[in-house]
Amino acid sequence: MSARPLPLGSPSAQGVDASGVHAFLDAVEAAPDIEPHSVMVVRHGRLVASGWWAPYTAARPHLLYSLSKSFTATAAGLAAAEGLLDLDAPVISYFPEFAADVTDPRSRAMLVRHVASMASGHRTETLERARAADREELVRGFLRIPPDGDPGTVFAYNQPTTYTLAAIVQRVTGQPLSAYLRPRLLDPLGIGEIAWLRDRAGRELGFSGLHATTDAIARLGELYLRDGVWEGRRLLPGGWAAEASRAHIDTADGTPEGALSDWQLGYGLQFWRSRHGYRGDGAYGQFCLVLPEQDAVVATTAATVEMQRLLDLVWTHLLPAFRPGPLPGRTDEDAALRERLARLALPPAEGRPAPPDRAPEWSGAVFTPRGGRCAGLPKLTEAGVTADADGWTLTLTEDGHRLPFRIGRTGWREADEPLPAAVSGGWADAGALAVDIVFLETPHRLTVTCSLPDGTFTASWRTPPLHAPGLRAMRAPRYSG
């Protein structure tokens, strides 16, 4: 369906000081450890600021990592309202075929509410142990790991809890999460195409893997801010937003109050409590910030391991920009912000054109991994460089598949094949080519450096993928049928 744009408003009319948004943009662009991809700010129900750092664009889906969890929780809330799921029922009751394998009394006492709030009783992440316990059925593998304490008494950020919640929703509805959410949430909100990674059992992961636009993040946040009502229509059961966003389990783990981070203020039903409001969040800076006191939502996508730093910049610069009333006489400031947001861009990788005297040596050159293999990309076996009338191409060979990436003459060169990516770079000197490949449906950037003198190459991730590290996985999944 064609999504109706979010209602627009000028920053000043909605009580947002444009200088605060400028300060936020300045700060994230100056931070060496933050690569911003997008930001959207909604105030009083109006979109007052939005921008994408090229080559990222508004229309492309972006891997949300654990922000996926908040969509999973929403599906669970809808299923509960339809009488398909009971938060206070034992998890094992939804998987009676596992009863003989799950004998630990704490595992059997675990409720749906406990897995929804990361309070299964385990004190650490169990994903790898659960996979090792059962390669074919992650829920069974998880339930076979005895909890360290009683369910509901201890917090651990634990992927199989959300996977189990997602598996329950998919079992009781008979549909993948995305299909179940489409008529109940996605279409009414005006959210277009999404895609969700599936596991070997065919289930959508639930705990990660959702690819959606920044606009979808903002719409989900606005729905929660409005207690589940969208354009006068109730989509979520009354009170669900408050229930999902309150602290169900303590996450401070003994940290003194004055030293608490935004991850130590309590966990709800797949939402985190924050120093201001609450949020859904995903690895590397995918945020849905819901700020009831400011009547605002902030959505971001990014690539950073310093997620607290990104939140700190929001609290330092954006939060003070929300004023109690309109700001008259700010037309020029609003226009300047709008113009800046329209021209946001990531700087391309540095590099000079091919050295003319060495171009014949470079065209057709083949390189092998330095040291015999590429860390993080074990199936990447070869790089080749070729030239034609349209410029230069870097071809990477992964597990026998050749992936050609055209190098931009200046700036980023975008293409959808072999993968949605943008490429920039060039020669550092006559013997070294360095190229950055930004995978546009993910937070990930790969730097490839080829050395002509020794015929080797290196490849390194700026932020390592948390799912399959292969290059061909660096896109939203496409399902057939």
For the segment 124-143, the average pLDDT, to the nearest whole number, is: 96
Q: The domain that contains 288 carries what CATH number? A: 3.40.710.10
Q: Please check whether residues 219 and 286 belong to one and the same domain.
A: yes
Q: Which residues pair with 439 in a beta bridge?
A: 421
In a domain, 231, yes or no: yes
In a domain, 463, yes or no: yes
Q: Please check whether residues 188 and 271 belong to one and the same domain.
A: yes
* CA 454, chain centre distance (Å): 38
378: number of Cβ within 10 Å: 13
**Tens digits of per-residue pLDDT, 171-209?**
999 999 999 999 999 999 999 999 999 998 899 999 999
For the segment 392-415, the average pLDDT, to the nearest whole number, is: 95
Answer whether 333's CB lies under 8 Å from 81's CB. Answer: no
Average pLDDT of the chain is 96
In a domain, 88, yes or no: no
Under the banding of pLDDT at 50, 70 and 90, the label for residue 4 is confident
In a domain, 176, yes or no: yes
Q: Strands 296-303, 421-429: parallel, antiparallel or unpaired by DSSP?
A: unpaired
Q: The domain that contains 376 carries what CATH number? A: 2.40.128
Distance CA 110, CA 107 (A): 5
Number of H helices, E strands in the chain: 14, 20
Q: Please check whether residues 326 and 392 belong to one and the same domain.
A: no
Q: Quick one: tokens of 256?
A: 């003194």
pLDDT at 36 exceeding the cut of 50 = yes
- Of 291, 312, 342, the position where a domain reaches its end is 342
375: number of Cβ within 10 Å: 13
In a domain, 138, yes or no: no
Q: Quick one: tokens of 278?
A: 């609450």
In a domain, 347, yes or no: no
User: DSSP class of residue 266?
Assistant: -
Answer whether 271's CB lies under 8 Å from 279's CB. Answer: yes
User: DSSP class of residue 74?
Assistant: H
**Tens digits of per-residue pLDDT, 232-277?**
999 999 999 999 999 999 999 878 877 789 999 999 999 999 999 9
Please give the biggest Cα pair distance in the chain. 74
- pLDDT at residue 58, rounded to an integer: 98
Q: Please check whether residues 279 and 195 belong to one and the same domain.
A: yes
Q: Please check whether residues 293 and 218 belong to one and the same domain.
A: yes
> Is 41 exposed, middle or buried, given 0-12, 13-18 or 19+ CB atoms closer than 10 A?
buried
> Is 337 exposed, middle or buried, given 0-12, 13-18 or 19+ CB atoms closer than 10 A?
buried
Q: Please check whether residues 200 and 268 belong to one and the same domain.
A: yes
pLDDT at 300 exceeding the cut of 50 = yes
Percent of residues, the chain, with pLDDT higher than 90: 94
- Of 317, 342, 367, the position where a domain reaches its end is 342
Q: Please check whether residues 293 and 394 belong to one and the same domain.
A: no
**Cis amide leading into 188 (omega within 30):** no
Q: Please check whether residues 327 and 378 belong to one and the same domain.
A: no
Q: Which residues pair with 367 in a beta bridge?
A: 383
Under the banding of pLDDT at 50, 70 and 90, the label for residue 479 is low
φ, ψ at 460 (rounded to 5°): -140, 140
Separation in Å, CA 215 to CA 24, 41, 117, 340, 478: 19, 10, 26, 19, 20
Distance CA 259, CA 261 (A): 6
- pLDDT at residue 1, rounded to an integer: 45
Single out the residue of 381, 342, 40 nearest to residue 219, CA to CA.
40
Distance CA 11, CA 333 (A): 9
Distance CA 138, CA 117 (A): 18
For the segment 454-468, the average pLDDT, to the nearest whole number, is: 95
In a domain, 425, yes or no: yes
Q: Please check whether residues 367 and 435 belong to one and the same domain.
A: yes
Distance CA 333, CA 212 (A): 31
- Of 313, 342, 371, the position where a domain reaches its end is 342
Q: Please check whether residues 230 and 376 belong to one and the same domain.
A: no
Under the banding of pLDDT at 50, 70 and 90, the label for residue 480 is very low
Q: Please check whether residues 208 and 337 belong to one and the same domain.
A: yes
In a domain, 121, yes or no: no
Answer whether 37's CB lies under 8 Å from 56's CB. Answer: yes
66: number of Cβ within 10 Å: 23
Residue positions counted in the chain: 481
User: DSSP class of residue 150?
Assistant: -
Q: Is pTM beyond 0.85 here?
A: yes
Q: Please check whether residues 398 and 258 belong to one and the same domain.
A: no
User: Which residue range forms the structural domain that includes residue 438?
Assistant: 359-473
Q: Quick one: tokens of 321?
A: 């920009």
> Is 332 exposed, middle or buried, given 0-12, 13-18 or 19+ CB atoms closer than 10 A?
exposed
Answer whether 17's CB lies under 8 Å from 321's CB. Answer: yes
Q: What domain count does the chain have?
A: 2
Contacts of 344 (CB under 8 A, 6+ apart): 25, 36, 51, 52, 53, 54
Contacts of 184 (CB under 8 A, 6+ apart): 78, 235
- pLDDT at residue 3, rounded to an integer: 67
pLDDT at 24 exceeding the cut of 70 = yes
Single out the residue of 50, 444, 132, 139 nearest to residue 282, CA to CA.
444
- pLDDT at residue 253, rounded to an integer: 85
User: DSSP class of residue 87?
Assistant: T
